[in-house]
């Protein structure tokens, strides 16, 4: 591993841990993404994680807080944009018709996107607004 990749791995680890400690499974390879999307039943919250400030200050805290809701997704997964590039690209292939966005949050069921929150609905918004967006979506689909 070159020094840049090693540095980025070390820098991003706490950002990964923030989600895995909340119960998210990391998908780091395209094959893992394909397996997850094609075999998982029920609702799945997919977080496209990133190192940007809006992921740190808004997306990850909002996602974690939203999981306090009585209704929540059956499955929690994450891919890391800019780090696990191939896995992220493969997950985005399943977001048909949706422009790539980092960070972003998708609620999927049986491989289909039911609701998508792009960066534009994260950056510049309050954590509470994002939590409300998510919990309202959970109430509708979960």
pLDDT at residue 53 in the model = 87
Task: Please choose, from the candidates 126, 108, 130, 132, the residue with its C-alpha nearest in 3D space to the C-alpha of residue 117.
Answer: 130
Average pLDDT, the chain: 95
Q: Which of 29, 54, 67, 114 is catalytic?
A: 54
Q: How many CB atoms lie within 10 A of CB 30?
A: 18
Please answer whether residues 103 and 81 qualify as being in contact, where contact means their C-beta atoms are separated by less than 8 angstroms. yes
pLDDT at residue 68 in the model = 96
| Six token digits for residue 53 | 């400030």
Q: Which of 27, 46, 52, 81 is catalytic?
A: 52
This prediction's pTM = 0.95
Contacts of 116 (CB under 8 A, 6+ apart): 95, 98, 104, 105, 106, 107
d(CA 37, CA 27) in angstroms, rounded, equals 11
Provide the angle, in degrees to the nearest 10, between the axes of the packed helices 85-94 and 30-39.
30
138-to-82, 117, 118, 128, 141 alpha-carbon distances in Å: 28, 13, 17, 15, 5
Helix (H) or strand (E) holding 49, with range, is strand 43-49
| Six token digits for residue 111 | 């491989």
Active site residue 54: yes
Residues of the chain with pLDDT under 50: none
Active site residue 142: no
| φ/ψ (deg, to 5) at 10 | -65, -40
- Residue-wise pLDDT for 84-116, tens only, equals 999 999 999 999 999 999 999 999 999 999 999
């Amino acid at each position: 591993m070159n020094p840049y990749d090693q540095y980025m791995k070390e820098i991003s680890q706490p950002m990964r841990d923030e989600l895995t400690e909340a119960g998210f499974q990391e998908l780091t390879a395209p094959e893992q993404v394909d397996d997850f999307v094609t075999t998982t039943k029920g609702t799945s919250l997919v977080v496209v994680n990133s190192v940007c400030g809006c992921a740190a200050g808004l997306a990850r805290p909002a996602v974690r807080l939203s999981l306090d809701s009585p209704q929540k997704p059956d499955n929690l997964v994450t891919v890391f944009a800019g780090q696990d590039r191939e896995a992220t690209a493969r997950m985005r292939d399943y977001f048909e018709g949706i422009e790539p966005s980092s960070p972003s949050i998708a609620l999927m069921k049986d491989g289909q996107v039911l609701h998508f929150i792009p960066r534009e609905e994260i950056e510049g918004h309050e954590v509470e607004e994002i939590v409300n967006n998510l919990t309202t979506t959970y109430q509708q689909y979960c």
